[in-house]
């Protein structure tokens, strides 16, 4: 395993899953063993609502737009659901620089996120449009 691979083997990894109505997704996800972890987070900064669910596979972030200007609106219009890979990183700024060195481009500015106790997040995209979310670890 390379140093780069080891750096992103985080116990706090999730998959972003977009939809118009997270509550409508829950019964289908329950069939495969998923259930809500806690409350729905409303994030006016990111313009989304997020419900974390866990079960028999990776943790999921059920993400729905919280308004017409939400960045997930475009993703939903393209018919996508599985949206991004998320990693919690202890050295947030170093991780951004590391991805940048691998030709990932920031598609958002680092910003606080309600669902992560106002810790910073950033989205980065590769040339093949793999989207990665970095989440600043707790201090």
Q: What tokens does 139 get? A: 């201090």
Give per-residue burial for 91-119: e unless 16+ CB within 10 Å, then b.
ebeebbebbeeeebeeeeeeeebebbeee
Q: pLDDT tens digits, residue range 71-115?
A: 889 888 888 788 888 989 999 999 999 999 989 999 999 999 999
Contact 19, 81 (CB under 8 A): yes
Please tell me the distance from the alpha carbon of residue 40 to that of residue 56, in angstroms, as a whole number.
20
42: Cβ–Cβ under 8 A, 6 or more apart, which residues? 49, 66, 114
Predicted TM-score of the model (pTM): 0.77
Q: pLDDT tens digits, residue range 17-69?
A: 888 888 888 998 898 789 999 999 999 999 999 999 998 778 999 999 999 99
């Amino acid at each position: 395993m390379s140093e780069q691979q080891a750096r992103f083997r985080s116990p706090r990894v999730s998959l972003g899953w977009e939809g118009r109505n997270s509550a409508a997704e829950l019964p289908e996800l329950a069939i495969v063993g998923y259930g809500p972890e806690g409350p729905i987070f409303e994030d006016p900064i990111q313009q989304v609502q997020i419900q974390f669910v866990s079960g028999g596979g990776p943790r999921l972030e059920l993400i729905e737009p919280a308004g017409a200007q939400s960045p997930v609106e475009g993703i939903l219009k393209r018919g996508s659901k599985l949206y991004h890979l998320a990693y919690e990183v202890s050295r947030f700024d170093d991780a951004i620089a590391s991805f940048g060195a691998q030709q990932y481009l920031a598609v958002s500015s680092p910003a606080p996120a309600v669902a992560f106790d106002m810790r910073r997040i950033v989205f980065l995209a590769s040339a093949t449009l793999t989207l990665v979310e970095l989440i600043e670890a707790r201090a």
